[in-house]
Amino acid sequence: MASIKEYNRKIGSLKNTVKITKTMKMVSASKLRRAQEAQNRAKDYAHEVNNLIYRIAGSVEQGMHPLLTPRQEAKSVLLLVFSSDKGLCGGFNNNLIKFVGTKSAELTAEGKDVSLAFCGRRGHLYFANRGKVWKNYAGVTAAPHSRDASEIAAELEEAFSSGEFDEIHMVYNHFVSPLSQEPQIDQLIPLPLGTLEDHDAASDAVRADDFITEPGLAELLDNLIPRLVVFKVFFSLLENSAGEHGARMTAMDNATTNAGNLIDEYTLLRNRARQAAITTELIEIISGAEAL
């Protein structure tokens, strides 16, 4: 049995840990609220953009814009992976890393050359020596900004247009709730035409001869399609941020609970050790008195 001093040291250490985990939980809860507010604002923007594109979706064809035109044979694939910069967020990064490894193996088995790009330090650290890393975008996940999304989207569009990659997919944790984040993969470029559909609309898509565009349809798509790509990257950054803070809040709450349970357990053991020490001292005193 450990000594009373050792139990006091363990209990003191656990109480300090509880202070840290409680603080981290409150900080993550505050950041999660702000991330969710940013998500809601982004959804409003997405709704307006989708409504605008939906009005012309009936006249959009794959060959009308380079970012809509799929390659005849996709040999080179880039996976843009969104992870966190910091740890202490449960299985948030581990589940995503396993998912990326599985998808990468599946694509490689299909005969495709898979490259990886990263938004987030944790994913890059794991795959730095385990995969073909194309690029790492550092410092963009802590505070998602549309400026970073624009720069990332511009480089991805250039890589696709130059023929360096035939397909570009995003892999990120879809935010379901603070308790649940599900790894998900979405094709980014070429932009699937399904992205241009408004699934909530009650009517069919408008035909090209039902309206007049100013500027022309081609010029309009030149402005809208790149904006939609930027938005999809930005929204994935927001999803990743919300999921990270939600996972960390949950992990710190569990850590606080577990530390509290250990404090109770060590307190009980300390009391037993103290009682045993008192009993031993009494026995020694009584034995000494009887000997005299």
Q: Which residues are marked as active site?
A: 89
Compute the distance between CA of residue 150 and CA of residue 81 in angstroms, rounded to an integer: 16
Answer yes or no: are the C-beta atoms of 266 and 259 closer than 8 Å.
no
Residue 112: partners with Cβ closer than 8 Å, 6 or more residues away: 74, 75, 76, 77
Residue in this structure with the two tokens 């470029």, named with its chain if needed: 189
Compute the distance between CA of residue 192 and CA of residue 206 in angstroms, rounded to an integer: 19
Structural tokens at position 186: 């979405």
Structural tokens at position 3: 């000594």
Structural tokens at position 64: 């009308």
Name the DSSP class of 178. T
Residue 151: partners with Cβ closer than 8 Å, 6 or more residues away: none
Residue 88: partners with Cβ closer than 8 Å, 6 or more residues away: 24, 248, 251, 252
Give backbone dihedrals phi and psi of 129, rounded to 5 degrees, phi first.
-110, 10
Please classify residue 224 by burial: count the beta carbons closer than 10 Å to its beta carbon, then call 0-12 exposed, 13-18 middle and 19+ buried: middle
Answer yes or no: are the C-beta atoms of 63 and 217 closer than 8 Å.
no
